[in-house]
Structure 1
């Protein structure tokens, strides 16, 4: 029984961190929605703007122009991913780097799922650019997912090196 309680306590820690990511993501999106109209741009530096963009698709606006089915597809995919990641965290929460990666991905995925459920699109607001080249707008959730994916790769590289 003690092992199971330890597993649940570890899972709770990771879920609380994911909840903080969700809160940060949703708070920043609420600020943008309250301050910007769709398409507004506020230059912050020579390479960074705050914008308000709506992404009806996935990463880099993949399927943005589809007829609407993608909302439900990505919403369902996000929920399924959250269930799977929670299961993985319960089993592997003791593997710190792996658990951090999964937690960041979980928080980011659910942040974007909330947008899809409420608005039908994801609110993006961070725009990075240089020399006339613009990276697609993104948000806190996307940043968490990206960092989590990088940590997953690092974790796997470390695991391969050990064998």
Structure 2
């Protein structure tokens, strides 16, 4: 069972990536249609839905760089996406392939924003009292989950390698 799961077709992983990217774009479309720019709606005491735009990267890095960053982040996103697509065409362990798929979908979701709108739509706002985490979107969630899966895969591989070394040492 595990071996067959490891040999999942690349098309499954591209479908996961496309689903992540499309879900991101649909939620951003809904926010744009339902919320005026800058609008904030309290959902819980620690979470708001907002409509904000980010011309930079994570944590608004380079947001005020003068406009060149849009093309830089589009190019970077497309280069990383091509590399991820290439990685998904090779057989990978499930966690690794799922991680690459989620990162690919998130990257393409944010690239689509930059190409269509010139900046990224963010709408998830977590906070504690007056301290707000920078707003983010489902593409960012997808990228973060994908990265977490890659870390998990590395840890699992590390444990397997350590167990093999212990096994070999005990047989000597």
**Normalized against structure 1, the TM-score is what?**
0.92
Secondary structure of 1:137's counterpart equals: coil
Q: CA deviation at 1:157?
A: 1.1
Q: CA deviation at 1:92?
A: 3.0
Give the Cα–Cα distance (whole angstroms) in 1 for the partners of residues 80 and 140 of structure 2.
Answer: 15
Counterparts of residues 31-46 of structure 1 (less than 5 Å): 31-46=30-45
Secondary structure of 2:90's counterpart equals: helix
CA deviations 1:82-105 (Å, max 9, x no partner) are 100011111134x10000100000
Secondary structure of 1:158's counterpart equals: helix
Q: 1:158 aligns with which of 151, 156, 159?
A: 156
Give the Cα–Cα distance (whole angstroms) in 2 for the partners of residues 59 and 36 of structure 1.
Answer: 22
CA deviations 1:53-74 (Å, max 9, x no partner) are 1010001100000010000000
1:147 correspondence with 2:145: yes
Give the Cα–Cα distance (whole angstroms) in 1 for the partners of residues 157 and 58 of structure 2.
Answer: 28
Structure 1: unaligned runs, 5 residues or longer: 1-6
Q: CA deviation at 1:25?
A: 0.4
Give the Cα–Cα distance (whole angstroms) in 2 for the partners of residues 99 and 123 of structure 1.
Answer: 27
Counterparts of residues 1-163 of structure 1 (less than 5 Å): 10-93=9-92, 95-163=93-161
Q: Which residue number corresponds to residue 3 of structure 1?
A: none
Give the Cα–Cα distance (whole angstroms) in 1 for the partners of residues 15 and 28 of structure 2.
Answer: 20
Number of equivalences: 155
| Mean CA deviation greater in 97-106 or 34-43 | 34-43
Q: Which has the larger radius of gyration?
A: 2
CA deviations 1:82-141 (Å, max 9, x no partner) are 100011111134x10000100000000000000000011000000001132110000000
Give the Cα–Cα distance (whole angstroms) in 2 for the partners of residues 67 and 137 of structure 1.
Answer: 21
